[in-house]
Amino acid sequence: MTLPPASIFEPPDLIAALPDRPFEFSQAAGREADAIVAGPATALFSRLIGDQESESTWLVARRVLDAFLDRSVELADDASADQIAEQVAGVRAGLTTTIQSLDVASVGADARDAVLRQRAVLGFMTGCWLDVLSQPATQPSVIVNRLFAHHFTLRGEANPRRTLHYRRRQRLEQDGVFLPELAAADFLAAADARPLTALAGSFYLALSRLPANFLPELVGVHYAVLTLGVDDLLLGLDPMIGEAELRSVLAAYLELAGPAERARLHAGLRCAIDLEREHVEMLAELAAWHAGLPLESKVAAVIARHAPFAGRHHKDVEVGGRPLAQTFTDPELDLARFLAEFRESKQVRRTPDGLSAFVRAYKFGGPMFGIFSEREAALFAGWVASVQAGERPPIEVVQNTVGDERADARAAAIRASRPADVVVAEPGEPSDRQLFYRLVNIENFASTLPLAAQRAEQLFEAAEVLFTRGAGGRYTDASFFSYTPEALYARAEQVYWDKLVKPYKPLTEIPDRDEVVFLQTTYALGALVDATWIHRTANLGRSDRRCDAALFSIYADEMGFGDLRKNHITLIHRALHSMDIRLPHIRDAAFMEQGDLPDPLYGFSLHQLCMALFPDTYYNEILGYNLAIEMFGLGELRLHEVQKLNHYGFDDCYEQAHLTIDNISAGHSRQAADIIVAYLDEVRRVLGDAAVDREWRRVWRGYASLAYFVEHALLKQLETESEADEDLSLLI
Ligand SMILES: [Fe+2]
Ligand SMILES: [Fe+2]
């Protein structure tokens, strides 16, 4: 079939937005999403950060974006980057004044601590919208790569101790604010996150789930959040990316954008400005609330925090004629009444040592020792002293409702949101070409996720056939072995030397031109989704492990760190063009009709795309696959291709890049082995040796699953043998 020239893709990729497409979800996802958005804001946040693999989370993300992004207001969409910058600078000036008023001298240590904790939730997330912006549908877009360079910077150039997140965490720790990891179960509680904070965080998370479809809005959000720099102002840190660079990317985007995209950029800009302004106002309210809190109210808050855990521990202790065990399990617990009775009780009365039974109880040696933090204990001590001094102020228990009105409105908007572009559609049984299209554009076809998971699992299982016979592979050795770091390195070396390097002899005869081009087309589909298998690992909340940063480092390298000249997707396009192979972009529906790349090769790329969508479930398999595919870039096969390409004057940049960058002494292949070793070492330290065996088996089936696609001769032989066995068993 001849394609219309309009559908042919030619770098540079100047997209400012993907084409408008509906978002397909299954009926079941709709019901689950309803249940998720009906819950509290903190549960919504936890769901969005904890689950990056299920359809319903993606639908929730779509609904959150719909509720927050107001596309209806028409703003002057021809504003230049300088004009936008001026507008944002004006907002920043206003916020700066408020933020400066939140220093410890003005608001006191307690309020400052509360403000820092509260803001950390958003501060740790900055830039998460760039996590998977680079993906098969968006590469090698000019603007996506400009933004990828920012992503690389914010990720500390793949050094986990240099990331924006880590810098902020360190700064907070200097101020005595210690928080668990962002995706930890107790993170929001430790930060004492208000519903409004959780909702603002949910917006940024939602954007990080659908970044390709919301590229224009994302550019606006990115510029606004980083330029406003609320966290840096609050923490006294220098920005990691200066305003000039941010503005230059904004200007680059405006040049690519038409009126519709500009309007969408403004929607993102406005949304982020509103969220940041709203949050800073909330921080100021929070500080004021803390500063103005009567002592009794602070005490009541501590009691309220601990009461649910007190259970029946207090046995016979009575206050106000009622056993504490009863008081604290009462769902209608009246804190003001309890405090009024407690301050008159014998537990608070001064004892001969100058303390009280209550204070003695929580000191060392007392039955309540270790229950309260130092800060809480100090608070109680102050309160008991004031009671003993005869102070009897009216007891007013002030609830913390900071930001709740805005939060209620925002939560209601999410519940009410029914984006017009969400459609209910099941994937059916797509052909390989249709499946490829859906997986490349997965944001629009989330209903395909269960199918992708099933396909990946089947492949990994099937590949285990090579655990026993894989030694006979031509380019791989997937035969299973007991894991030790030494054994893994030895296997990698052995495959490299025995299978990839030693058999190499320069070709004495070069196949004809058509054959050379044909063989290249059989590799091209895989190359067009180069590095896809790791494009979703190491996202927000998943970059705590050493190996995550190393995986990100490989991915960043594959994308040229945002430099298009070094980007592997650019390289493969260059190579294909030199052979006069002109294709639509893989994200375009027209690609389903392409006639240059052979059909039987789709399975390989589909496998890569499928596993990539489950970076949590198939983490181990991805690590093994990563080693296999990085090694596949080396040795004889590539060297022959280079020779053939050179012979006909084709561009060998793609092959050359892989021969060097994937090298086994320090390149991607070596890094891939190191990553497995680092990961299994962590498993061993946390879960012990038995767990290592289990996890290792899964890593190795990831390796085998690449072999399963490249060892045609071996698999054919195994198939013939098993058919022969079957025939034999029939005879018996
Ligand atoms: Fe590559
Ligand atoms: Fe590589």
State the average pLDDT over residues 142-156: 98
In this prediction, residue 156 carries a pLDDT of 96
Question: What distance in angstroms lies between residue 273's CA and the mean position of ligand 1's atoms?
Answer: 38
Question: What distance in angstroms lies between residue 566's CA and the mean position of ligand 1's atoms?
Answer: 10
CA–CA distances in Å: residue 450 to residues 426, 454, 535, 550 = 10, 6, 19, 29
Q: What is the overall mean pLDDT for the chain? A: 94
In this prediction, residue 451 carries a pLDDT of 98
Asked if residues 555 and 535 have their Cβ atoms less than 8 Å apart, the reply is: yes
pLDDT tens for 25-71 read 999 999 999 999 999 999 999 999 999 999 999 999 999 999 999 87
State the average pLDDT over residues 500-507: 93
Residue 21 dihedral angles phi and psi, to the nearest 5°? -130, 150
Question: What distance in angstroms lies between residue 691's CA and the mean position of ligand 1's atoms?
Answer: 32
Q: Which ligand is nearest to the CA of 529?
A: 1
Question: What distance in angstroms lies between residue 424's CA and the mean position of ligand 2's atoms?
Answer: 38
Question: What distance in angstroms lies between residue 560's CA and the mean position of ligand 1's atoms?
Answer: 10
Question: What distance in angstroms lies between residue 554's CA and the mean position of ligand 2's atoms?
Answer: 7
Question: What distance in angstroms lies between residue 658's CA and the mean position of ligand 1's atoms?
Answer: 6
Element (H, E) at 407: helix 404-416
pLDDT tens for 65-95 read 999 998 766 655 689 999 999 999 999 999 9
Question: What distance in angstroms lies between residue 559's CA and the mean position of ligand 2's atoms?
Answer: 10
pLDDT tens for 539-561 read 999 987 889 999 999 999 999 99
Question: What distance in angstroms lies between residue 269's CA and the mean position of ligand 2's atoms?
Answer: 36
Question: What distance in angstroms lies between residue 530's CA and the mean position of ligand 1's atoms?
Answer: 5
Neighbours of ion ligand 2 (CB under 5 A): 630, 662, 668
Question: What distance in angstroms lies between residue 668's CA and the mean position of ligand 1's atoms?
Answer: 9
pLDDT tens for 438-469 read 999 999 999 999 999 999 999 999 999 999 99
Asked if residues 50 and 617 have their Cβ atoms less than 8 Å apart, the reply is: no
In this prediction, residue 732 carries a pLDDT of 56
pLDDT tens for 212-236 read 999 999 999 999 999 999 999 999 9
Contacts 24+ apart (CB under 8 A), 482-487: 482/693, 483/680, 483/692, 483/693, 483/696, 483/699, 483/700, 485/677, 485/680, 485/681
Question: What distance in angstroms lies between residue 660's CA and the mean position of ligand 2's atoms?
Answer: 9
Question: What distance in angstroms lies between residue 480's CA and the mean position of ligand 1's atoms?
Answer: 26
Say yes or no to pLDDT of 307 above 90: no
Question: What distance in angstroms lies between residue 632's CA and the mean position of ligand 2's atoms?
Answer: 9
Is this structure's pTM higher than 0.75? yes
Q: Which ligand is nearest to the CA of 654?
A: 1
Identify the band that residue 4 occupies on the pLDDT scale cut at 50, 70 and 90.
low
> Quick check: helix, strand or coil at residue 150?
helix
Q: Is 25 exposed, middle or buried (0-12, 13-18, 19+ CB in 10 A)?
A: buried
CA–CA distances in Å: residue 98 to residues 21, 196, 234, 375 = 42, 18, 10, 27
Q: Which ligand is nearest to the CA of 551?
A: 2
In this prediction, residue 447 carries a pLDDT of 98
